[in-house]
Structure 1
Amino acid sequence: MLNAPRTPARRRTLAGILLLAVVAGTSACAPTIGVPVADDAADPKCAEVVLAVPDMLGDLPKVKTDSQATAAWGASGAAVTLRCGVTPPEPTTTGCQGVPSAAGSVDWIVADDGKGTWTFVTYGRDPAVEVQIPPSVSSDHSSSFVSDLNRAVSKVEQTRYCM
């Protein structure tokens, strides 16, 4: 095979093998973030949401996740995570706020666990989307980048609004 003529078909085959080697080599270095799957992650609307999330969230790059209907930005141990298909929250006025963006306003219920982790859950949308911001991110980033997710979560129709 070493002395085989370099035909166009052979050159394409070699180029394909090299491309696969490069892709395999670079994807092996990319971190995968573990994100628990939500109960209703198989809802088709979740696929629409995840396909519409941005490649960057603020200055955090999107990284791979290991579960259906999830997304993450940042680095292992310091990643903002998104899960679609969480249980929609009950009506409340506590922590419910509209977050405006160029893509429109989205109502989120915002909670702090007291240890620095912020959780945002869409209000009035079924399935609901949950975003968690760990202390390693919230300590030096504003949570205002949540508005960058409005276009994606708007793929799920809003039926109720914050009061």
Structure 2
Amino acid sequence: MTQQRRALTLSASFLILAGCAPTIATTAGPYAPDPACASVMLALPESVLNLPRAQVTAQGTAAWSEGNGAVVVTCGVEQPAPTQEDCQSITTNVFGIEETVDWISTSDDRGWIFTTYGRDPAIMVQVPHALNEPQPTGALVDVAPAIAKVEQTQFCR
């Protein structure tokens, strides 16, 4: 097999594999064009909750799925107003660097919705009940290093 033909075969194999990745319909946040969102999107991991990254349809969004639902990150959402909802700080240690991200957490019949508190632009993470994830905050731990690219100016407590 010639070098050129082998390269074409590898390219075709890659295209077939890339075509197998699911595409998740997402909606951009109103502030998705904020340059900070680009930094977050570029820093997001290849897997969240052990789910592989999927294709998305909107700017400033990312998703991870294997078919039962998708964890979706949306950058550039509306800032949460002062609220009595549960605000929690989650601290992770990645390569010896501690990152703390404050989140407003809510849930509805579809799943958990976590929105950053004190960061502009705000970022939302949705974890659907369909994933049957016993620890939905695990998704927040997975994306924390990327979320930390946006400076925190207010804190939960």
User: Taking structure 1 as the reference length, what is the TM-score of the superposition?
Assistant: 0.85
CA contact (8 A) 2:85 2:106 kept: no
User: How far is the alpha carbon of 1:77 from its aligned partner?
Assistant: 4.8
* Match for residue 143 of structure 1 among 136, 143, 146: 136
* Match for residue 105 of structure 2 among 95, 102, 110: 110
Residue 65 (structure 2) aligns with: 74
CA contact (8 A) 1:32 1:64 kept: yes
CA contact (8 A) 1:79 1:134 kept: yes
User: How far is the alpha carbon of 1:39 from its aligned partner?
Assistant: 0.9
Residue 85 (structure 2) pairs with residue 94 (structure 1): yes
Instruction: State the percentage of identical aligned residues.
Output: 38
Residue 161 (structure 1) aligns with: 155
CA contact (8 A) 1:93 1:162 kept: no
Residue 47 (structure 2) aligns with: 56
Higher strand proportion (structure 1 or 2): 2
User: How far is the alpha carbon of 1:116 from its aligned partner?
Assistant: 4.5
Which secondary structure does the structure 1 equivalent of 2:88 belong to? strand
Q: Distance in 1 between matches of 2:133 and 2:124?
A: 21
Which secondary structure does the structure 2 equivalent of 1:101 belong to? strand
CA contact (8 A) 2:36 2:121 kept: yes
Residue 152 (structure 1) aligns with: 146
Quick one: which amino acid aligns to residue 13 of structure 2? V
**Structure 1 spans left out of the alignment, 5+ residues:** 1-5
Q: Distance in 2 between matches of 1:158 and 1:42?
A: 19
Count of residue correspondences:
152
Q: Structure 1 stretches (4+) deviating beyond 6 angstroms? A: none
User: How far is the alpha carbon of 1:92 from its aligned partner?
Assistant: 2.9
Residue 125 (structure 2) pairs with residue 131 (structure 1): yes
Which secondary structure does the structure 2 equivalent of 1:104 belong to? strand
Quick one: which amino acid aligns to residue 125 of structure 1? R
Quick one: which amino acid aligns to residue 21 of structure 1? A
CA contact (8 A) 1:61 1:73 kept: yes
Which secondary structure does the structure 2 equivalent of 1:54 belong to? coil
User: How far is the alpha carbon of 1:94 from its aligned partner?
Assistant: 2.3
User: How far is the alpha carbon of 1:36 from its aligned partner?
Assistant: 0.9
Instruction: Flag the 1:161–1:93 CA change in 2: closer, same or farther, 3 A.
Output: farther
- Structure 1 or 2, whichever has the larger Rg, is 1
User: Taking structure 2 as the reference length, what is the TM-score of the superposition?
Assistant: 0.88
CA contact (8 A) 1:80 1:134 kept: yes
CA contact (8 A) 1:96 1:109 kept: yes
User: How far is the alpha carbon of 1:85 from its aligned partner?
Assistant: 0.6
